[in-house]
A and B are shown apart, each in its own frame.
Chain A
Amino acid sequence: MSAEVITTTGLTKVFPGGLRAVDGLDLAVRQGEIFGLLGPNGAGKTTTVGMLTTRVLPTEGSAVVGGVDVVAQPARAKQAIGVVPQTNTLDRSLTVWENLYFHGRYFGMSAKESRAATDVALQRFRLADRATSDTITLSGGMAQRLMVARAILHRPRILFLDEPTAGLDPQSRLALWEILGELHADGQTILLTTHYMEEADQLCDRVAIMDHGRILALDTPASLKRSVGADTVVHVTAEGDLDGLASLLAASVEGATKADVVEGVVQVYLRGANGVLPRVVMAAEGGGFRVTDLSITQPTLETVFISLTGKDLRE
């Protein structure tokens, strides 16, 4: 197993007013992996990243990032990290090129080194033709690329991205995924937060599913999906007592492992998908229910989240 570059023990943040945004988090992120924190808004993902990047003071517990205790030695910890925050924090008084150049200088590069690193980064992130532009003229996707370029300019051991693709158009999202994939191939350790399950599924080596400041499950996306104990999920929309329908289907459909009601829809988890839809309809109608809609999917990280929390990932 590779070395751990982030470890937290009992990391907790209670905001004034009593909100426990993060509650006793124990986490270990390994060198070179893309680690995802997946959860709905308000799950504590951003607060977690805030604590790991010195901008939120933990109420309890400890966090060691790149071998440095972030609470005891924040200035040293900042040398080891690169951060892409949720909002555009580019320096509006500077051009695209100058944003990178001065970032390099803040991190101790000489003028010559920083100039060279800036030129290379602009090429790599396909921003060279915008070098002299003001940052406010950049599109959302370009601004995000520039923020990633800036965050890795000083070669941090760990790159943090907080909801990196929120608000990006699909094309820019794919472009960013590609960039993150390249960085990963170069051995860059990345911790990202997201509430898009596809993003976590596609990009991450390991995913921690968070809700209410706690980690509910942590594993590779494949293992998480296997943990549901089913290879097929059938969504049944029907009229009448849905809880009754759920128990009926769980008991009477062959291969069903369990069934829940989520947001007015019965979800039946099954092993073996052959001919499953007629069996579900027959069982439901045999119990006197009128099925109005039916769909079939494979388990996703969203399914995992639902089976853990009984609620939808979107809001």
Chain B
Amino acid sequence: MTAIRSASFTAFRAQLLRDAFVLRKTLRAFMLRTVMQPALTVFVFAYVFPRIGQGIGGDGGRGASDFSTLLVPGVMATACIFQGIQAVALPMVQEFGFTREIDDRVLAPLPVWAVAVEKMLAGALQGVLAALVVFPLAAVIPATDVHLSLHWPLMLTIIPLGTLLGAGLGMAIGTTVESRQVPLVFSVIVIPMTFLGAVYYPWERLEPIAWLKWAVLVNPLMYMSEGFRASLTKGIPHMGLPYIYAAMIGYTVLLGWLGIRGFRRRVIQ
């Protein structure tokens, strides 16, 4: 039994190695798809708006700077969700739709659930890269100051947790939807999640719209944005940490479980 456990572990590691190898091979495409979305968000909201004096924080002073500061963690959380979709969900849809390339990895000497876990772990590692990419963008692009103050213990737990959550969401979606439903994934899941995920505002400030404040509690991205905000900023309100951790862990476990179940169902008849 121990022999097969060690063979399974070796196969798991080799599959991670394969994913890292493919990532290195396609680094340019990875960077493009990873940088574009956060770069444009930061550019429009933290550079264009303050410069043209429009919209939120348009006075170009403290308000604008505050907004840029609260936006950056939200953009990072969004990057993790996007990575989960792009690095896990879309490849899985393609996989089960027609290519079936993963067959060879499924037939390696490890349990099928471990292949799904490997895929999510690889997606999460890409999510970490995607989140880290936001730092230089936030340093270079905004026209106003961005006041980040890093809380290391929070950051070192929230970022891995957030990227795993994103990868779990990707696996759950990727093993459920058919390829022709992919456009729906964006309009029905990703876009509402990001617009209503406390990316552009702290959750607490939804107070005047009570129903919305309650409704967004189902959105995992909301907890991620709040968590990233707690890890990276000072003086901006965020939800209590126990709630953030409980919800993020809960969603990671739930989505990861759904993802593994979906993967098994797609792979084993």
A78 touches B107 (CB 8 A): yes
Chain A count of residues within 8 A CB distance of the other chain: 32
A15 touches B104 (CB 8 A): no
A87 touches B18 (CB 8 A): no
Q: A89-B100, A93-B25 are in contact. Are A76 and B18 (CB under 8 A)?
A: no
Is B15 on the interface with A (CB-CB < 8 A)? yes
Chain B min CB distance to A287 (Å): 53
Report the contact-size class of chain B (Cβ under 8 Å from the partner). 20 to 34
Interface 9-residue window, one of A98-106, A236-244, A276-284: A98-106
In the bound complex, CA of A76 to CA of B104 (Å) = 15
Is A131 on the interface with B (CB-CB < 8 A)? no
Q: A73-B4, A75-B111 are in contact. Are A87 and B101 (CB under 8 A)?
A: no
Hey, which chain B residues are within 8 Å of A83, CB to CB?
103, 107
Chain A min CB distance to B2 (Å): 12
Is A91 on the interface with B (CB-CB < 8 A)? yes
A107 touches B269 (CB 8 A): no
Q: A90-B101, A105-B18 are in contact. Are A75 and B109 (CB under 8 A)?
A: yes
Chain B min CB distance to A110 (Å): 10
In the bound complex, CA of A94 to CA of B24 (Å) = 12
Hey, which chain A residues are within 8 Å of B18, CB to CB?
91, 94, 102, 105-106
Is B150 on the interface with A (CB-CB < 8 A)? no
B107: contacting residue among A53, A56, A87, A91, CB under 8 A: A53
Q: A57-B268, A74-B112, A78-B107 are in contact. Are A106 and B101 (CB under 8 A)?
A: no
A55: contacting residue among B15, B26, B106, CB under 8 A: B106
Hey, which chain B residues are within 8 Å of A93, CB to CB?
22, 25-26, 101
Closest B residue by C-beta to A94: B22
Hey, which chain A residues are within 8 Å of B106, CB to CB?
55
Q: A57-B269, A78-B109, A92-B101 are in contact. Are A106 and B22 (CB under 8 A)?
A: no
Closest B residue by C-beta to A92: B101
B14 touches A76 (CB 8 A): no
Chain B min CB distance to A247 (Å): 45
Closest A-B pairs by Cβ, 5 of them = A106-B108, A105-B14, A89-B103, A79-B109, A56-B269
Supply 12 further A-B pairs (C-beta < 8 A) apart from A78-B109, A98-B21, A102-B14. Answer: A15-B269, A57-B269, A74-B112, A79-B4, A81-B107, A83-B107, A91-B104, A93-B22, A105-B17, A106-B15, A106-B108, A108-B109
18 pairs, A vs B, C-beta closer than 8 Å = A53-B107, A54-B107, A54-B268, A55-B267, A56-B268, A79-B4, A83-B103, A89-B99, A90-B104, A91-B104, A93-B22, A94-B21, A94-B22, A98-B21, A102-B14, A107-B108, A108-B7, A108-B109
Residues of A within 8 A of B (CB): 15, 50, 53-57, 73-76, 78-79, 81, 83, 85, 87, 89-94, 98-99, 102-103, 105-108, 150
